[in-house]
């Protein structure tokens, strides 16, 4: 039986090994219920390494109902299960795995995976939350094309959102309905998202440089919709800026932002379905300061810019976190500088480095921008990785100059774009 992970275990960069299997396509079906959500997955899998006879899937806080390989239900002696994983023995080189499991979103107080926020279903999967939804190879170098079907009560969840473009909607018996979404761009599991609940929205349109018409929406509870306009305007500005500065157009038919009260990260760049803490979306002149407005502009820009620097071009492993976060912080700093005073913005950014980040560097939490090991991945999200990482990118930009830096950055975003 696989050895249990303990709090003393450390993950080392030097131990990195490429994945033994690739999940080419992922089809998920959710029957949403507060205390007993049923998740059915169909995974198309191929072996990458000839010495991998068994497939290990990550999974935590899941109740396994059934597992089938190429349509045939497996017996207990054909797989091993523990609190952290499901291992299927003697798998072929190419196969389809069908898994059914149940989860309890209402009891998920860790706010990782699928949970309830003010009665609405919401997800947070970065860095390792997807394994609390279903069994999967939950690591950033395994990318898959997702099709997601959400089934829920029309009364409780009139809005059903996931990544990509909406394919279909259907009214079902017993007061339920379902919506199917498809994301054609392969992505790691940490970028999966779903939101389901009773939400309103405000809407606008954006036409890309090549003429694609994109529908933009910000979802929130009805009472908050009047405070969302600045965030929507900031999104439009960010989309245009990324086209002009880096030549990066948006690549789907819709882009959605959801503002929720219970969110353990400030915001999350899930592909086409960004989820934000309300702090970084809601603002009115009567109650918000200039700094509040600036923070919203910066965070909206940051998460949108991840569409390319992080989503389409992603990390090999979590030791590369600053490759997406440091670069994207630099991008959002430059964007924010152009929306206001570049001089004031640079002073503010320098204060953040010389103050809190320098303190981190001089204390017991000091670590390089790319650490060599970690015991808890959630402790990786530091000022050093984000802010000092951005300063490393800025140094390179200053050395190369604006013309060469744009060529270099664009080349990275194009040539390393995810292709499977």
In the set 112, 303, 325, 391, the catalytic residue is 303
Whole-number Å distance between alpha carbons of 340 and 328: 19
Gap between the Cα atoms of 347 and 302, Å rounded: 19
Distance CA 161, CA 255 (A): 11
SS3 22: strand
Q: Is 360 a catalytic residue?
A: no
Tokens encoding 99: 């898994």
Please list the residues that pair with 86 across neighbouring strands: 57, 81
* Rg (alpha carbons) of the chain, rounded to whole number: 22
Are 305 and 242 spatial neighbours (Cβ–Cβ below 8 Å)? yes
242/248 Cα distance (integer angstroms): 6
Tokens representing 384 are 């050093």
How far are the Cα atoms of 105, 224, 230, 296, 402 from residue 262, in angstroms, in the given order? 13, 15, 21, 17, 40
Q: Which residue has the tokens 């908050």?
A: 224
Sheet hosting strand 120-124, strand order edge to edge? 113-117, 120-124, 194-197, 159-162
User: Taking a C-beta distance cutoff of 8 angstroms, is the pair 146, 271 a contact?
Assistant: no
3-state secondary structure of 100: strand
Q: What is the dihedral of CA 251, 215, 301, 392, to 10 degrees?
A: 0
Query: Which residue numbers are catalytic?
Result: 303
């Amino acid at each position: 039986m696989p050895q249990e992970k303990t709090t003393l275990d450390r993950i080392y960069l030097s131990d990195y090994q490429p994945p033994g299997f690739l999940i080419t396509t992922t089809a998920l079906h959710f029957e949403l219920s507060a205390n007993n959500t049923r998740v059915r997955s169909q995974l198309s899998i191929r072996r990458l390494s000839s010495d991998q006879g068994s497939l290990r899937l990550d999974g935590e806080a899941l109740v396994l109902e059934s597992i089938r390989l190429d349509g045939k239900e497996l017996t207990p002696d054909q797989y091993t299960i523990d609190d952290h994983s499901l291992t299927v023995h003697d798998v072929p080189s190419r196969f389809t795995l069908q898994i059914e499991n149940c989860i309890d979103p209402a009891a998920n107080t860790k706010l990782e995976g699928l949970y309830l926020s003010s009665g609405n279903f919401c997800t947070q999967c970065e860095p390792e939350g997807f394994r609390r939804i279903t069994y999967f190879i939950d690591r950033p170098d395994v990318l898959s094309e997702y099709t997601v079907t959400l089934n829920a009560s029309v009364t409780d969840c009139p809005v059903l959102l996931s990544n990509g473009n909406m394919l279909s909607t259907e009214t079902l018996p017993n007061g339920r309905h379902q919506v199917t979404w498809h994301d054609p761009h392969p992505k790691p599991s940490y970028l999966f998202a779903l939101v389901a609940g009773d939400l309103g929205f405000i809407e606008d349109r954006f036409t890309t440089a090549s003429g694609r018409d994109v529908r933009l929406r910000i979802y929130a509870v009805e009472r908050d919709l009047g405070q969302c306009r600045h965030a929507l305007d900031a999104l439009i500005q960010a989309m245009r800026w990324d086209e002009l500065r880096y030549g990066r157009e948006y690549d789907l038919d819709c882009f959605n932002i959801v503002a929720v009260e219970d969110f353990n990260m400030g915001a999350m760049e899930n592909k086409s379905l960004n989820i934000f803490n309300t702090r970084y979306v809601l603002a009115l002149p009567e109650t918000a300061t200039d700094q509040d407005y600036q923070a919203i502009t910066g965070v909206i820009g940051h998460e949108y810019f991840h569409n390319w620097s992080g989503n389409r071009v992603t990390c090999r492993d979590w030791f590369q976190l600053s490759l997406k976060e440091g670069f994207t912080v630099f991008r959002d700093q430059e964007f924010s500088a152009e929306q206001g005073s570049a001089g004031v913005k640079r002073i503010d950014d320098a204060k953040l480095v010389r103050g809190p980040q320098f303190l981190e560097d001089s204390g017991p939490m000091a670590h390089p921008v790319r650490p060599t090991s970690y015991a808890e991945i959630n402790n990786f999200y530091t000022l050093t990785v984000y802010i000092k990482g951005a300063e490393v990118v800025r140094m390179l930009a200053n050395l190369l100059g604006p013309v060469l830096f744009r060529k270099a950055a664009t080349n990275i975003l194009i040539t390393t774009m995810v292709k499977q």
